[in-house]
Amino acid sequence: MLLLLLGIIVLHVTVLVLLFVSTIVSQWLVNGEHAADLWQNCTTGASFHCLASSSNEWLQSVQAMMILSVIFSVL
C-alpha cells in the first residue's frame, strides 16, 4: 500500500513539473526564423521581433485553461 501511495505521489509531482514547463516554456513551434508559443510569435533575422499571439478564441481558451490548471494544481 505504501508503494502504491509513493507511486501516485511521484506521478503527481511529475505531472506538475510537466504542467509548469509546458506553460512557461517558449518556442513550442520553431521553423527556421519563426518561433511560436502560447503567448507570442517571434521572428528572427536582421533583428528579433516578437508580437502577441493571435486573438483566436481557441488560443485564448487554451491560455485561460493553462493558467487555471496551474492555479488549481498549486492549491
Q: Containing domain of residue 36, as a range? A: 27-54
Q: What is the mean pLDDT of the chain?
A: 83
| pLDDT tens readout for residues 1-34 | 999 999 999 999 998 888 888 888 766 777 877 7
| pLDDT tens readout for residues 55-67 | 778 878 888 888 8
When divided into structural domains, the chain yields a total of 1
**Is 68 among the domain residues?**
no
**Is 62 among the domain residues?**
no
Specify the pTM. 0.60
**Is 72 among the domain residues?**
no
**Is 46 among the domain residues?**
yes
Q: What is the pLDDT of residue 40?
A: 80
From first CA to last CA, the distance across the chain in angstroms is 26
**Is 12 among the domain residues?**
no
